[in-house]
Amino acid sequence: MSERDLVTEVVEFIAEHVLPVDDEHDGDVEAAGGESLRVRLQARARERGLLSPHGPRDLGGLGLGMVDRAPVFEAAGRSLFGAMALNVNAPDEGNVHLLDRVATPGQRERFLRPLVRGDLRSAFAMTEPAPGAGSDPSLLATTATRVSGGWLVNGRKWFITGADGAGFYIIMARTSGELGDPGGATMLLAPADRAGIEVNRHIGTIDRAMLGGHCEVTFTDVMVPDDDVLGEVDEGFRYAQVRLGPARMTHVMRWTGAARRAHEIAIQHVAGRRAFDGRLADLGMVQQLIADSEIDLAATRALLFEACRELDGGGRAARSTSIAKTFAAEALNRVVDRAMQLCGGLGVSSELPVAKVARELRPFRIYDGPSEVHRWAIARRAIQRVGGL
Amino acid sequence: MSERDLVTEVVEFIAEHVLPVDDEHDGDVEAAGGESLRVRLQARARERGLLSPHGPRDLGGLGLGMVDRAPVFEAAGRSLFGAMALNVNAPDEGNVHLLDRVATPGQRERFLRPLVRGDLRSAFAMTEPAPGAGSDPSLLATTATRVSGGWLVNGRKWFITGADGAGFYIIMARTSGELGDPGGATMLLAPADRAGIEVNRHIGTIDRAMLGGHCEVTFTDVMVPDDDVLGEVDEGFRYAQVRLGPARMTHVMRWTGAARRAHEIAIQHVAGRRAFDGRLADLGMVQQLIADSEIDLAATRALLFEACRELDGGGRAARSTSIAKTFAAEALNRVVDRAMQLCGGLGVSSELPVAKVARELRPFRIYDGPSEVHRWAIARRAIQRVGGL
Amino acid sequence: MSERDLVTEVVEFIAEHVLPVDDEHDGDVEAAGGESLRVRLQARARERGLLSPHGPRDLGGLGLGMVDRAPVFEAAGRSLFGAMALNVNAPDEGNVHLLDRVATPGQRERFLRPLVRGDLRSAFAMTEPAPGAGSDPSLLATTATRVSGGWLVNGRKWFITGADGAGFYIIMARTSGELGDPGGATMLLAPADRAGIEVNRHIGTIDRAMLGGHCEVTFTDVMVPDDDVLGEVDEGFRYAQVRLGPARMTHVMRWTGAARRAHEIAIQHVAGRRAFDGRLADLGMVQQLIADSEIDLAATRALLFEACRELDGGGRAARSTSIAKTFAAEALNRVVDRAMQLCGGLGVSSELPVAKVARELRPFRIYDGPSEVHRWAIARRAIQRVGGL
Amino acid sequence: MSERDLVTEVVEFIAEHVLPVDDEHDGDVEAAGGESLRVRLQARARERGLLSPHGPRDLGGLGLGMVDRAPVFEAAGRSLFGAMALNVNAPDEGNVHLLDRVATPGQRERFLRPLVRGDLRSAFAMTEPAPGAGSDPSLLATTATRVSGGWLVNGRKWFITGADGAGFYIIMARTSGELGDPGGATMLLAPADRAGIEVNRHIGTIDRAMLGGHCEVTFTDVMVPDDDVLGEVDEGFRYAQVRLGPARMTHVMRWTGAARRAHEIAIQHVAGRRAFDGRLADLGMVQQLIADSEIDLAATRALLFEACRELDGGGRAARSTSIAKTFAAEALNRVVDRAMQLCGGLGVSSELPVAKVARELRPFRIYDGPSEVHRWAIARRAIQRVGGL
């Protein structure tokens, strides 16, 4: 199947099988069936050969690079459940990427294969409640202590997306250095039923489309055998960077799809409405909102493309993914906000699938690095490059 | 009680009796008790002498003018349930204002008095589903037909705030002229239990703090006797203007309170958090967000004050209320958006009372005239004034 | 003359006598006659009783407070030479304010009286080239050393507005403390012909309407006798604050006038032009630009009014003048930028008096505190107030 | 020479030979030598093999496509005189592009060859004073009337860039249809010394770097023989489109270079200044300005690249060049405005080469289609595509 055909296939699959469920339940994944919905939609995607387009080919994925993923993930993103249906949702999608690069053959078999097949979901346990690790990794408080044959993990994490119902965790824990010291973290793999892992609660958030929620999880003397250390000890933050760049970009892809759908619905709305002796679509201020969104979407795609090319070329693309993420998160939120405005009262209702996108999209300006932290990093690089500091 | 004392009283009352309920239920008024919550909170406000500060004195209100209302309503607005608790919520508050100016003595007794006392709620039935009346009044499709002794009302309205459970309606209906012709509308009063009035459904919207929801209502051969015509026949839109200016401004007052609370919570958050070797509050980009919100809040209050002075002086203040509403709706949304951003992950959760304000506030850029319609009116006035056209 | 009459008088005076000169020379004060133009215009203003509306009555001024100055200065500001014509230009106007509050009777006679009469101009010498004092007063490098009977001033200042041709200077110099220490500055008065004062050069800047330019000035062993110390020794920064708040606000007044004129010219332009089957003024995007400027102008005036009321009430109004200055500097630049855009090619030409306003106005976002420094101060106050820090 | 080497060569050439002249004269091309400066700089560029990188190879140019032009033109754009030095300035550069596609072999020899060699300059005479042709081509008032052996041209044009001193004109004139009717325009070639062509005056504009100024030109019974008709009669607007897309993009390239230089100077400034106990470059608000400009520059380049790829592929790229032009014109103006702000007082002076870029760049938001006209076109396309209208 050519890449173009694949996109067309995904567009049709989403429109036929996923959007109706999504719209019927206003994007609330639990109300729409939760885990059983995932299994049902993924089964259909599997039949159509659309499952795990990002997964390595030897494990049954389609093996697409970043540039080729972009239109496919964007097509999936048109539905809030689309990425789940294709098994390209966060955090699983980023975890696939990470495991594919770092996992041992044994880990690949035990963790990556079932993840690519959609047999289970996964969670990435890094963020901690204050004063622990958020944007500043030096505050990492969860520890992994050396014991015979492995490590004992203790700590508390939160905003762990998809934790409830996940099959396994990738846990970031401090293995050396003191609190306040950035280095010395390690990634550890742990099946979710390992003793000592407890999902305490779902944190109530404005979004409702993420299967497994955003959870608070405690790790109490969780034993991780040496075989389940992911990569080298003390190199966890380096791997986090490996995961981060592409993960940022696939978020951009998916949200571009969602924002584009909201934008198109808004255009259809104003094209079909009359007021003040004409169509709403003929009013200059309406056209300005539409044009601004067209520009925002075009710039988002252009920046995404540049970053994906760099990633496919083997670069870390720290600068270009940071710029693309920051721009996109803000631009796509503007696009959806304009779509709400264009739809008037309907735009803030559940009559149209626009407000739900706004609700789901807002956190993207915060997770994977708030815009402010990205700007700080972008500026520091520029100052070093130009100012010689 | 001096005006200053009144504000202090309201601040304390809200903090003690209203905010706890609001925060416990994430601003969902039905979950918090709905109508019984209203009765309970208003009873307490009545005991403290805080009920209906805008109501005419002869009916038991405090008789405050617009300038004096501003700090009181802002204090009430700190809680999403605060305006309800003080009986100054939309649409009742605007309806009190309207009835006080237009109602006959009999109507005053039957409709206004119980409304000021908090014995019942009311609804203002103007907006219609497409292609009916929204921003363009000439599209008004609901009709009132002359019959012996009164009028028969037929039509469908939607986004009628507070309709479910309201005690009476003020209905805008066409009494002369054809569809597409702006004139010839009349306001009619009707108890909610009048035959032919049916609340069809609640329209799902992103906000959840408004008692009685935003409803679709049908009027089928609803008989309105001549005694219940509000003001002159065919003068409905003129009265709508009487209602509109002050109603816009009291929205600004209430939402300023809500936005200010979100802003203050965000400041407290960054003042208490450490990252990157200092407090979040010491970071320049954090300070920029705070400063921008301080400026937005100050400008909102300054424009509000100008418009209220003009209204208290007897002017229609069409220009100044339009400018103040447009600026405030956008500025306050920015303030709350920044507050979310400042609080990071917590900002988009229900752990802090910030995201709920964002959700409730967004529609204000649409109702009481979308920003685009206001800008059109503002520009037209400027072109007439300066361009001589 | 009532305040309303005064405004009308000023509007007419500016339109009749000042704008024609201004427009003929594209706002270039030297090309228009420089000092001789000042003398000529001020003579006419004196005849009409319009000179020095801010000056103390006992010295021949009109004694207007801040609130009353606002519309008068705004009317003067419609021409780039209007403030000069009325003797209310920076830095003289702020110097009048300062001397009126701090000068001894003798200083009042020798320095303030001729300044209010328009017999001479003055300069305020505070800013220094890097690494000296700009936004951070602790870097003040110019020193005044105690000698018998007075002080010897040494140092270099730049961006000293109006220095070339000024009759006297107010010099800020360090009288105690070390570099890097904020305190210990003193204000000293010196006639411009005092030995050791040299105007080295005009710094080329984008604006051209300021008589006397923005100069680099050196002070070499300039003797200032004790009688010419302005206020208390070591209290210079406190007096700078006394000068600063009102000076910020009068800048806002003048620039509001200039921006409003540009705005009105743009409206007249689009009202008189046809394109795309209608007037430019009928296009929605054109109306949006106009409406946004109307809102910006209204908010500027509203914030200005609040700050002026506070100043007239005797407050330092540090917060409110900082907010009003920051908002106004940015808003008025937006207004004039939109006016250029509305006028198309003519907007960036000297065919219309719009581009010249843009050129003159841009520096206002930098002097009297760049927006960034104001935002830092505004945020710090908010954090202290709300965050308890 | 590889494309990378060429860019390096141009960067060095500009830094060594062009920037010093530019900076010494604050970007005023006449003060710097005018036509003789052009001849001198182009002679040097010719020696280095850098002249006319866009010109067809058979006429001595380097034959670069759009994607390859981008970094070369950007490097040239670092100086306001750089494009002139390389013979890639507007309007010549766009005229080369147009003639290369449309000219007959004879026209190619007589007009294009000397233009590519830098033997003369050219002008593109389309814009007319009101009520003539600007953004709306249907208002074209200049006429070409059929006479024996050719056409007689009559009309008045203005804002004709480079007209004073140009060797020949490309004139857009109405050859059929009435005023108000879009069709029926023809492009005609005329040597500047042809009888009846008169440069009336330079229109004073805020920019000063364009050789030959922006002129008002009258055509009085100017005879254009049939051999000098460019392309088909009545097809002038179609050719204007051929010229327009690439011309927009080369403007973006050049201005990106100018804006990037201003940005880098600002970074160097804040990296070298201390205030408030640290470097300016360490302040968060300073970093935010820098980061925002980095993002704007990256998005400009990304959109430019997309459009150039499309043009190189043979597409008209109307949508993508319109989006890239609109975004870039606004983004680059923001970049330079931030650079001014970062440099404080120096930023609005001629001490640093930042303010001059701002002055030159501002009109780009107006020429080649004001942002508002582009937004209208962008929105209409989106509405047609999505709304089915």
Judge whether A326 is closer than 8 Å to chain D, CB to CB.
yes
On whether both D313 and D223 belong to a single domain, the answer is: no
Query: Do A280 and A269 lie in a common domain?
Result: yes
For A55-118, give the secondary structure using H, E and C.
CCHHHCCCCCCHHHHHHHHHHHHCCCCHHHHCCCCCCHHHHHHHHHHHCCHHHHHHHHHHHHHC
Q: What gap in Å lies between CA D187 and CA D181, rounded to an integer?
A: 17
Mean pLDDT of C186-213: 97
pTM, two decimals, is 0.97
pLDDT category of residue D179 using cuts at 50, 70 and 90? confident
Convert D153-169 to b/e letters by CB count within 10 Å (16 or more is b). bbbbbbbbbbbbbbbbb
Helix (H, G, I), strand (E, B) or coil at C158: strand
**DSSP symbol at C294:** H
Task: Please give the pLDDT value at position D135.
Answer: 66
- Distance of alpha carbon C206 from the chain centroid: 16
Please give, rounded to a whole number of angstroms, the shortest distance from the CA of D286 to a CA of chain B: 8
Provide the pLDDT confidence category of residue B4 given band limits of 50, 70 and 90. low
Distance CA B366, CA A344 (A): 6
CATH number for A208 = 2.40.110.10
Q: Per-residue DSSP letters for B62-126? A: ----HHHHHHHHHHHHTSTTHHHHTT--TTHHHHHHHHHHH--HHHIIIIIHHHHHTS--EEEE-
Question: Are the Cβ atoms of C135 and D159 closer than 8 angstroms?
Answer: no
What the block records as the tokens of C116 is 């209010």
Task: Tell me whether D367 touches chain C (CB under 8 Å).
Answer: yes
Mean pLDDT of the region C359-372 = 96
Evaluate whether C246 touches C68 at the Cβ level (below 8 Å).
no
The pLDDT of residue C135 is above 90: no
Measure in Å the smallest separation between the Cα of B274 and chain A Cα atoms.
7
Same domain, D200 and D275: no
**End-to-end alpha carbon distance in chain D:** 50
Task: Tell me: do B263 and B372 sit in the same domain.
Answer: yes
Asked if residue A367 belongs to a domain, the reply is yes
pLDDT surpassing 70 at residue B115: yes
So what's the pLDDT on residue D195?
98
C182 and C318 assigned to the same domain: no
Task: Return the structure tokens found at C32.
Answer: 């228009």
Q: Is residue A63 part of a domain?
A: yes
Q: For C58-110, what is each residue's pLDDT tens digit?
A: 999 999 999 999 999 999 999 999 999 999 999 999 999 999 999 999 999 99
The answer on A338 and A244 residing in a single domain is yes
3 state SS of A350: coil
Domains held by chain B: number: 3
Q: Which amino acid is at B295?
A: I
Query: B159 and A345: CB-CB below 8 Å?
Result: yes
- Domain encompassing residue C244: 237-387
pLDDT of residue C4: 67
pLDDT of residue B302: 98
Nearest chain D alpha carbon to B283: D284
Instruction: At D373, list the tokens.
Output: 């006209």
In a domain, B100, yes or no: no
Cβ partners under 8 Å of residue B86, min gap 6? B10, B42, B45, B50, B51, B52, B53, B72, B76
* Model confidence band, residue D302 (pLDDT cutoffs 50, 70, 90): very high
pLDDT bucket at C1, cuts 50 / 70 / 90: low
Q: Tell me the C-alpha distance between D144 and B283, whole Å.
A: 65
Q: What percent of chain D has pLDDT over 70?
A: 98
Domain assignment present for residue A246? The answer is: yes
Residues C149 and C200 in one domain: yes
* Tokens read off for C201: 């050069």
Supply the CATH number for residue C105's domain: 1.10.540.10
Residue A109 inside a domain? The answer is no
Confirm whether B110 is domain-assigned: no
CB < 8 Å to B285, chain D: 284-285, 287-288
Give the Cα-Cα-Cα angle D377, D382, D388 (nearest 5 degrees): 120
Same domain, A39 and A25: yes
Distance, CA of A299 to CA of A334 (rounded, Å):
13
| Facing C299 at nearest CB: one of B291, B327, B389 | B327
Those residues with Cβ within 8 angstroms of residue B313's Cβ, 6 or more apart along the chain or in another chain: none
> What pLDDT does residue A135 have?
66
Do D243 and D352 share a structural domain? yes
Over residues C304-344, the pLDDT tens digits come to 999 999 999 999 999 999 999 999 999 999 999 999 999 99
CA distance B178 to A186: 74
Q: Chain A partners of C284 at a C-beta cutoff of 8 Å?
A: 283-288
CA distance C297 to A119: 61
Taken in order A196, A202, A203, A207, is the CA torsion positive or negative?
A: positive
Tens digit of each residue's pLDDT (9 = 90 or more) over C12-45: 999 999 999 999 999 999 999 999 999 999 999 9
Q: What pLDDT is stored for residue B389 in this prediction?
A: 53
Residue A161 is assigned to a structural domain of this protein: yes
C313-320: long-range contacts at Cβ-Cβ below 8 A with a sequence spacing of 24 or more? C316/C241, C316/C242, C316/C245, C317/C245, C318/C241, C318/C245, C318/C377, C319/C378, C319/C381, C320/B298
In a domain, A266, yes or no: yes
A115: nearest Cα among A82, A90, A133, A135? A90
pLDDT value, residue C359? 97
Residues 283-322 of B with CB under 8 A from D: 283-288
Residues 52-111 of B with CB under 8 A from C: none
d(CA C182, CA C174): 9
Provide mean pLDDT across the span D89-113: 97
The Cα–Cα gap between A251 and A234 comes to 27
Q: How far is CA A7 from the centre of its chain?
A: 19
Q: Report how many Cβ contacts below 8 Å link chain B to chain D.
A: 17
Token pair in block for residue B155: 């039509």
pLDDT in tens, chain A (389 residues): 676 699 999 999 999 999 999 999 999 999 999 999 999 999 999 999 999 999 999 999 999 999 999 999 999 999 999 999 999 999 999 999 999 999 999 999 999 999 999 999 999 999 999 887 776 778 899 999 999 999 999 999 999 999 999 999 999 999 998 777 766 899 999 999 999 999 999 999 999 999 999 999 999 999 999 999 999 999 999 999 889 999 999 999 999 999 999 999 999 999 998 876 789 999 999 999 999 999 999 999 999 999 999 999 999 999 999 999 999 999 999 999 999 999 999 999 999 999 999 999 999 999 999 999 999 999 999 999 997 65
List the one residue out of B16, B66, B5 whose CA is nearest residue B252: B66
Rg from Cα positions in chain D: 21
Contact at 8 Å (CB) between C251 and C259? Answer: no
D380: contact with C, CB 8 A cutoff = no
Q: How much is the pLDDT for A277?
A: 73
Based on the domain organization, do B343 and B374 belong to the same domain?
Answer: yes
pLDDT at A389: 53
Mean pLDDT (whole number) for B286-290: 98
Strand D168-174 with D274-275, pairing: unpaired
User: What burial letters (b/e) apply to C319-339, b meaning 16+ CB within 10 Å?
Assistant: bbbbbbbbbbbbbbbbbbbbb
Report pLDDT digits (tens) over B187-234.
Answer: 999 999 999 999 999 999 999 999 999 999 999 999 999 999 999 999
- Burial code (b: 16+ CB inside 10 Å, e: under 16) for D307-345 equals bbebbeeeeebbbbbbbbbbbbbbbbbbbbbbbbbbbbb
Q: Bigger pLDDT: B137 or A123?
A: A123
Query: Measured between CA atoms, how close is D281 to chain B, in angstroms?
Result: 11
Which residues in chain A have Cβ-Cβ distances shorter than 8 Å to C286?
284
H or E element: which one contains C55?
none
Give per-residue burial for C134-157: e unless 16+ CB within 10 Å, then b.
bbbbbbbbbbbeeeeebbbbbbbb
| pLDDT tops 70 at residue C297 | yes
Say how far apart CA C250 and CA C323 lie, in whole Å: 14
Closest-CA distance, C277 to chain D, in angstroms, reads 9
Last residue of a domain, one of A35, A69, A89: A89
Q: Of the residues C233, C265, C296, which one is the last residue of a structural domain? A: C233
Chain D CA closest to residue A269 = D387
- Verify whether the Cβ–Cβ distance A285 to C285 is below 8 Å: yes
Residues B261, B226 share a domain: no
Q: Report pLDDT for C389.
A: 53
Under 8 Å between Cβ of C353 and C15: no
CA distance C110 to chain A (A): 50
Asked if B205 lies within 8 A of A365 by C-beta distance, the reply is no
Give the dihedral of Cα atoms B197, B200, B206, B208; nearest 10 deg: 60
By the 10 Å C-beta count (0-12 exposed, 13-18 middle, 19+ buried), C48 is classed as middle
| CATH code at position A292 | 1.20.140.10
Distance to chain A for C201, nearest Cα, Å: 30
Phi (first) and psi of residue C188, to 5 degrees: -130, 140
Q: Is A55 exposed, middle or buried (0-12, 13-18, 19+ CB in 10 A)?
A: buried
For the stretch B265-276, pLDDT in tens is 999 999 998 876
| pLDDT at residue B2, rounded to an integer | 75
pLDDT at A1: 63
Same domain, C109 and C142: no
CB A370 to CB B341 under 8 A? yes
